[in-house]
A and B are shown apart, each in its own frame.
Chain A
């Protein structure tokens, strides 16, 4: 039990649609990161938020965006979904010792 919960667990969308994925972090964890994990691959860093501001981004287009809220929850939004966006999306919160705790992920399928 990492204390990081993600919803929904599974989601099916069609190409061109928009999706919002949610993450609830542990209280006091001010940093949250989002990752995309394609089948059979390691997680790829999407972006990171610290105290509601984006402070780092990986090689993902602007249609991937996020929000972080004061209550330690966060969102990942993806617009204009493409087939290649099908993946497991992971969020991770960071504690004061710089250790990241991952949620179980949301598996997104784009048809």
Chain B
């Protein structure tokens, strides 16, 4: 079973700051997905990356897939309180294997 490590586990920053969170594995991903989970809700898919070196942007969120397809990063520019949540990565196969997540808090 592929293990995913996410870092940091917790992150609390002020509104307007930038941040980056990471997802790493010792194995190669066939594809990788990022989800955001808000309190009281299930995870919601943000993006899927497939190709090594791929960069995808979703408004203020930038997702990057490592060249070797073993790691990924999520960068948020000018964070807003609405970005608060648990950010999860997984290897996007039939049986989703999730990392433990990064719990992000954006303070007004």
Residues of A within 8 A of B (CB): 2, 4, 33, 35, 40-45, 48, 56, 58-59, 90, 92, 99-105
Contacts and interface: CB of A to CB of B under 8 A. Distances in A.
Interface of B: 1, 6, 40-45, 48, 86, 88, 90, 94-101, 103
A45 B96 CA distance: 7
B42 A105 contact: yes
Contacts of A90: 42-43
Contacts of A4: 42
A13 B100 CA distance: 26
A92 to B, nearest CB: 7
Given A41-B101, A42-B100, A42-B101, A58 B95 contact: yes
Contact of A2 (B44, B86, B99, B101): B44
Nearest to B4: A42
A105 B41 CA distance: 7
B45 A99 contact: yes
22 contacts: A4-B42, A42-B6, A42-B86, A42-B88, A42-B90, A42-B101, A43-B43, A43-B88, A45-B95, A45-B96, A48-B95, A56-B94, A56-B95, A58-B95, A59-B1, A90-B42, A92-B42, A100-B96, A102-B42, A102-B43, A104-B41, A105-B42
